[in-house]
Amino acid sequence: MEKKINVAVIGATGAVGQVFMWMLADHPWFNVAYATASASRVGLTYSSTTHWILPLEMPSSIKDIEMKEFNFDSMKEAGVQIVFSALPANIAREAEPQLRAHGFYIFSNAAAMRYDSNVPILIPETNLEQLDLIRDQGYPNTGFCVTNANCVTTGLAMALAPLRKFKINTIHINSYQSVSGAGYPGLSSLDITDNCIPFINGEEAKIEKEIKKILSIDPEVYAFTVRVPVMFGHLETVWLECDEEVNEEDVIEAWKDFKVVTDLPSTPEQPVVYSSEQTFPQPKYAFWGNPRGMVVYTGRVKKKGNKIGFALMVNNIVKGAAGGSIQNAEAFVKEYGLLE
């Protein structure tokens, strides 16, 4: 495929925006034609104005990109079709409907439009059919918005998708969430160093709402979310109750059989990887895998009574955020033949 689609990254300097820029730097289908953040950065080069937090080098191809103002006409003039949004939800709430009305195809990390009935929360491996909701927004005559889930929910949805067949009726989930999940600069170091905080505003309600919408299931959900002093990667421990009888081997087998449904550049061949290693998984593996950060790792499977327990780890800013959005855009391009 020679032709590339011009894309914009809005909120390009933040934690999620940086992952967009890193993953799009040499993307086979997409070209970063426009990058924007808050107004004070206009005219500066990306490398000079970004406080780079990723544990990977900034690709040289994005260093000299000039930051632009957030302007619909300029984006159109730059040939932008797809907009990747890493805006805070309160800014996205205003900006994203306007972008859609201007005909852009938005792939957003913000929660602003996630719960609209005609806006999918898409994870291609689990609910690709929900991509068709873009037609209810008016596509192909207008733009549309596709969101990805909250980062914790993304990891949970990936691990649960192949287990849906056991008819999950109850989910107990505890999360141990990294500080990058709060964006940059995020929490004060005095609050989080050598400490854990058992409250993340709005997070538990998001998990409950989103897991039901994504997987089209209706279990009881009991969540606790905790911020821990880790840079990247959210660890989650889960107990499930199912209508069907399930054993440890059934769960491990279901993850092994969970193969890619569609061939996309940012989709790993094996999207959920299990290990029986006693101390697996851990946030320090957040950038493992190919593509890096896109695999959800599982372990510690155990059964007690009629409950199945396990642990999982998801890279919150890659699979749980920007990488998920890029994968969603790839799914759209492939399903709707944009590069043909």
Ligand X SMILES: NC(=O)c1ccc[n+]([C@@H]2O[C@H](COP(=O)([O-])OP(=O)(O)OC[C@H]3O[C@@H](n4cnc5c(N)ncnc54)[C@H](OP(=O)(O)O)[C@@H]3O)[C@@H](O)[C@H]2O)c1
Distance of closest approach, residue 283 Cβ to ligand X, in angstroms = 12
181 part of the interface to ligand X, by CB under 6 A: yes
The residues in 279-318 that bind ligand X, with binding defined as CB under 6 A, are 316-317
Query: Helix 323-335 vs helix 15-24: angle between axes, to the nearest 10 degrees?
Result: 50
Burial class (CB in 10 A: 0-12, 13-18, 19+), 42: middle
Q: Which two tokens stand for residue 264?
A: 């996309």
| Residue linked to tokens 């040289």 | 60
Q: Specify whether 234 is catalytic.
A: yes
| Residue linked to tokens 């900034």 | 58
**Pairwise CA distance, residues 58 & 48, whole Å:** 12
Set 27, 145, 234, 242: catalytic member: 234
Set 27, 51, 102, 151: catalytic member: 151
**Pairwise CA distance, residues 93 & 112, whole Å:** 5
Edge-to-edge strand list for the sheet holding 82-85? 30-36, 5-10, 82-85, 105-108, 144-147
Distance of closest approach, residue 11 Cβ to ligand X, in angstroms = 3
List 8, 14, 264, 319, residue binding ligand X (CB under 6 A): 14
Distance of closest approach, residue 230 Cβ to ligand X, in angstroms = 12
Q: Do you find a cis peptide bond into 140, omega within 30 degrees of 0?
A: yes
Q: Which is nearer to ligand X, 41 or 300 (CB)?
A: 41
321 part of the interface to ligand X, by CB under 6 A: yes
Q: How many Cβ atoms are within 10 Å of 322's Cβ, its own excluded?
A: 31
Q: Which is nearer to ligand X, 171 or 317 (CB)?
A: 317
86 part of the interface to ligand X, by CB under 6 A: yes
81-89, 195-203, 214-222, 239-247 -> range binding ligand X (CB under 6 A): 81-89
**Pairwise CA distance, residues 215 & 76, whole Å:** 35
41 part of the interface to ligand X, by CB under 6 A: yes
Q: Which residue is nearest to ligand X (CB)?
A: 14
CA distances from 246 to 101, 304, 313 (A): 47, 11, 22
Q: Specify whether 151 is catalytic.
A: yes
**Pairwise CA distance, residues 13 & 325, whole Å:** 16
Q: Which two tokens stand for residue 11?
A: 């909120």
Q: Which is nearer to ligand X, 139 or 184 (CB)?
A: 184
Distance of closest approach, residue 122 Cβ to ligand X, in angstroms = 14
The residues in 183-242 that bind ligand X, with binding defined as CB under 6 A, are 183-184
Helix (H, G, I), strand (E, B) or coil at 158: helix
Q: Total number of residues binding ligand X (CB under 6 A)?
A: 27
State the binding string over 119-158 for ligand X (x if CB under 6 A, else -).
--------------------------------x-------
Task: Please give the residue ranges that form the binding site for ligand X (CB under 6 A).
Answer: 11-17, 37-38, 41, 70, 86-89, 91, 109-110, 151, 180-181, 183-184, 316-317, 320-321
Report, as residue numbers or ranges, the catalytic residues.
151, 234
